[in-house]
């Protein structure tokens, strides 16, 4: 039975078989068809490379390469079927290990823009929640701050240029997005300029009175309720019929 430890060492019944270094040698043999060429590329002697192969075979319990000799600098080598299976096993287990260890939440932003007792919503053009309404927002791009992201998303989805007033809150329920774990930083915004126009991921953009809100995507019902309750205007808070 094979298993992969945290250092990405493939072991068989507790005995070390291959790690990234040995895998590199096997992959080069598969690519070049030559043990000697693979050894040269890894800057090791043919004898040392051959010794590594013998150690792999001893630990694995089967032949991993088949060689027809023609001198130390000639001849050819190929992985056996079981050698290929060993290589595939390593890659599959490493991928599974990486998914478990390095899986991280995705960072998103949402914007709350109000006008009187109305709040701006977009109608989603794409899954999930296609056709439902939501706060304008989206994923933070690499190298971008959350503040830059929410201003960009507002412009892309609504056509409006906005300024940030304050942070409404951070929402991190792992089940808030069916695509996977996302964390959203929600901002209250103020319109600076621009003409309301749906674009990007929005098929429609419009203001809704907080007394008559449509079905909302994700956890945006909770976000809007929290925002209204924190606004300090109890009459507006009580008017939210979510």
Residue 102, CA distances (Å) to 3, 94, 95, 182 in order: 18, 11, 10, 15
**Dihedral sign from CA coordinates of 41, 42, 46, 49:** negative
Q: Name the residue among 135, 105, 153 with its Cα closest to residue 221.
A: 135
Coil, helix or strand at residue 222: helix
- Cβ atoms of residues 91 and 2 within 8 Å: no
Active site residue 204: yes
Considering just the CA atoms, what is the radius of gyration of the chain in Å? 29
> Which one from 57, 165, 204, 221 is the annotated catalytic residue?
204
Cα–Cα dist 175/196, whole Å: 31
Catalytic residue numbers, as ranges:
204
């Amino acid at each position: 039975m094979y298993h992969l430890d945290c250092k990405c060492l493939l072991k068989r019944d507790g005995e070390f078989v291959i790690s990234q270094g040995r895998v590199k040698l096997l992959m080069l043999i598969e690519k070049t068809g030559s043990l000697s060429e693979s050894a040269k590329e890894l800057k090791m002697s043919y004898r040392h490379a051959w010794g590594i192969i013998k150690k792999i075979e001893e630990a694995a319990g089967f032949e991993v390469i088949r060689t027809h000799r023609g001198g130390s600098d000639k001849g050819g080598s190929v992985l056996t079927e079981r050698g290929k299976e060993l290589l595939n096993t390593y890659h599959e287990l490493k991928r599974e290990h990486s998914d478990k260890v390095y899986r991280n939440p995705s960072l998103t932003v949402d914007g709350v823009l109000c006008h009187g007792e109305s709040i701006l919503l977009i109608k989603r053009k794409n899954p999930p929640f296609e056709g439902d309404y939501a706060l304008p927002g989206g994923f933070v791009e690499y190298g971008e701050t959350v503040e830059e992201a929410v201003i960009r998303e507002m412009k892309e989805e609504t056509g409006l240029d906005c300024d940030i007033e304050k942070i409404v809150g951070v929402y991190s329920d792992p089940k808030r997005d069916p695509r996977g774990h996302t964390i959203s930083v929600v901002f209250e915004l103020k319109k600076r300029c621009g003409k309301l126009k749906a674009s990007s991921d929005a098929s429609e953009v419009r203001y809704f009175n907080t007394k008559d809100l449509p079905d909302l995507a994700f956890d945006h019902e909770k976000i809007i309720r929290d925002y209204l309750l924190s606004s300090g205007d109890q009459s507006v808070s009580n008017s939210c019929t979510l």
